[in-house]
Amino acid sequence: MTDILSAQMAFLIEADKLKSVSRATSLCDGSRCENSGEHSWHIALYAMVLAEHAHRPVNIDRVIKMLLLHDLVEIDAGDTPIHGDHDPAAMEAIEQAAADRIFGLLPPNQAAEFRALWDEFEAAETDDAIFAKSVDRVQPVVANLETGGGTWPEFNVSAAQLETRVGVKVRRGAPMLWQHLRSRIDAWFDAR
């Protein structure tokens, strides 16, 4: 039992490092950029509040678990902004190695369970993972809208780019949510 508890504590201590990973998205008040730990908490809350808007029924407990785990790989890989320039294949390899290392800190049964949830989120093929991906994409959009475009100008984000990189994923899991945001997004781009 001591070995199990020691492994669990090692994982939890490692997970604390997620609070030190800065993201490109700022807080809704524009005072600073959020960190990945804050992002994970916030999108778990988004999922709880917005679950009724999922395109298909979801198991909210599983969705929240995925959202709490999905960015732990950023401890090693860092945050990769969706509108930034990066090599997706290279990032996937880095994130896979990070998942191996970080989830590998846990006792084998938890390591397998948590890794399976992370893999499911990444694949985005189940209803739970599709909705989780949608919520992950919605929160930064809301933050950018609340801060007058936030980082969109910095990354030269176009309406078409936002639609293909974000809208497609949000519509897949929560179409009403994207429809709701679309009028605000259109208004922001029209005012530029």
Share of the chain above pLDDT 70, in %: 100
Share of the chain above pLDDT 90, in %: 90
pLDDT band at 88 (very low <50, low <70, confident <90, very high): confident
Q: How far apart are CA 46 and CA 4, in angstroms?
A: 32
Q: What local confidence, expressed as pLDDT, does residue 170 receive?
A: 96
The correct CATH number of 2-190 out of 1.10.3210.10, 1.10.3720.10, 1.10.1060.10, 1.20.1260.10 is 1.10.3210.10
Q: What local confidence, expressed as pLDDT, does residue 71 receive?
A: 97
Q: What is the pLDDT of residues 126-173, one digit of tens each?
A: 999 999 999 999 999 999 999 999 999 998 999 999 999 999 999 999
Q: How far apart are CA 147 and CA 176, in angstroms?
A: 23
Find residue 35's DSSP bridge partners.
Answer: 22
Reported pTM: 0.94
Contact 67, 122 (CB under 8 A): no
Q: What are the structural domain ranges in the chain?
A: 2-190
Q: What local confidence, expressed as pLDDT, does residue 2 receive?
A: 81
Reading the block at residue 12, the tokens are: 């939890």
Please check the confidence at residue 175 and state whether its pLDDT lies above 80: yes
Please check the confidence at residue 86 and state whether its pLDDT lies above 90: no
